[in-house]
């Protein structure tokens, strides 16, 4: 699996997905609303 480029690292091992306008915040390995894994 390739490392994503459209994300921002946050505190507590969380990341914000910047792929769609929802900007989901999730822990590493989880999926956002659009099912994109971060």
Cα 36 to its chain centre, rounded Å, is: 7
What is the per-residue pLDDT for 38? 66
Long-range contacts, stretch 20-23, CB < 8 angstroms, 24+ apart = none
Cα separation of 23 and 33, whole Å? 9
- 22, part of any domain: yes
What percent of the chain is modeled with pLDDT above 70? 97
Residue 2 binned pLDDT confidence (cut-offs 50, 70, 90) = confident
What is the per-residue pLDDT for 21? 92
Domain range for residue 7?
Answer: 1-29
Short-list 2, 11, 35, CA closest to 27: 11
- 37, part of any domain: no
Cα 27 to its chain centre, rounded Å, is: 8
pTM of the model: 0.70
Residue 17, burial from CB neighbour count under 10 angstroms (0-12, 13-18, 19+)? buried
- 38, part of any domain: no
pLDDT digits (tens, 9 = 90+) for 14-25: 999 998 999 999
- 7, part of any domain: yes
* The total number of structural domains that make up the chain: 1
């Amino acid at each position: 699996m390739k490392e994503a480029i459209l994300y921002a690292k946050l505190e507590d091992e969380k990341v914000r997905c910047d792929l769609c306008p929802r900007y989901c915040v999730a822990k590493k390995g989880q999926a956002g609303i659009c099912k994109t894994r971060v």
